[in-house]
Amino acid sequence: MTLYDYRRQFRDNLMIMSRTANGRLDLSASGTKSDSMAVDSAEDAQKLAFDNTERALRLLFDNRRRTFRSAEELEELVLETAKITNEGITREGCLFRSGEDSTKYNYARIKDIPVMWDRYVRSFSWMLNSQCFEVEEIAAFCEYVINILGHFFADGCGKISMLISTYVFMRFDLPCPQYTSREEYYRFAVRRKIPSVNDLRQLPADPEFWDFVSYYRRLCPSSGPDLCCVMENAE
């Protein structure tokens, strides 16, 4: 598949999934989210959402054949993707969430983000190098952990998680999921309680996560039979 193919698929999905891409700027997740924002209007944020994600897709596509010598090298690519995605939208230096915890959503507590982020990066690196996982499972893991379990970034977690899942499909030259609706997605992408630092390690036995994986696989044209693999060795 070409970069054009991935751009077209990503733009279609962005219009279904992103409030910002549809001209809505929501700062209600926490009392201090607005402190991290640099953008002045929903219209500016909308334009940046399209421009920035196109640049991020180019970066990821150019790195689709890359072999990572360490989890740290993979982390650098993910963080660069996040920085490009939020350039001009969040203030300089405001990459990860800070300030007050959300009282609206069951996101990870801000104090737990450093540990959970490190575990995510190491798990992602291990999964990419493992023969145990289907491509769709790795992509679903990235979306669920970045956007739902950790919600690591000051803004754009949905866009960033979709970019990283797209990167997973790029590495295997496969088409991306075909999202149907934001509402349907978040019926399956849920956390009924605030995550703890151990929740990432416990995902292999977490029914909420596997409900999401099963749903996610149904969105993927490339999906085959379910695989159930264990992730304890990711630590």
Each residue of 70-126: pLDDT tens digit?
999 999 999 999 999 999 999 999 999 999 998 888 999 999 999 999 999 999 999
Identify the DSSP state of 102.
Answer: P
**Entry pTM:** 0.91
On whether the CB atoms of residues 140 and 177 are closer than 8 A, the answer is: no
Neighbours of 192 (CB within 10 A): 6
Q: Residue 112: what residue type?
A: D
Across residues 184-198, what is the average pLDDT?
A: 91
pLDDT tens digits, residue range 176-188? 999 999 999 999 9
Taking each continuous run of H as one helix and of E as one strand, the counts in the chain are: 8, 0
**What is the predicted pLDDT for the residue at 224?**
57
